[in-house]
Amino acid sequence: MSTNRLARFRGAVRDYYINDIRGSVVKIVGANGEEFSSYEYEPSGTIIAQTGPAADFNYTGKELDEGYSFDLY
C-alpha cells in the first residue's frame, strides 16, 4: 500500500495533491482550488500528459530522484 502525500508547502503557501486509486498524483491544487499541475500516466507509469511543473511525488506516490530520473521505491 502506498503512502499518499496530502500537501506540500512553498513558504506559507500550501498545495494539495489529488491522487487516483493507485496513489498516483493526478493534480496539484492550491488552497483556493486553483489547479497548478495535472498528470496523466501510461499503465507502466510513464507520464504521457503534463501541465504545469513536475510533482515531487509521481506514479503510485513514489518520490522522484532527479539525479537519476527514477522513482524511489
pLDDT, averaged across the chain: 80
pLDDT at 1 over 50: no
Query: What share of the chain has pLDDT > 70, as a percent?
Result: 79
Q: pTM of this prediction?
A: 0.70
- Gap between the Cα atoms of 60 and 22, Å rounded: 5
- The predicted pLDDT at position 39 comes to 92
Label residue 9 exposed, middle or buried (CB < 10 Å: 0-12, 13-18, 19+): exposed
3-state secondary structure of 58: coil
- The predicted pLDDT at position 38 comes to 93
pLDDT digits (tens, 9 = 90+) for 28-52: 898 888 898 999 998 888 889 999 8
Domain ranges of the chain: 7-72
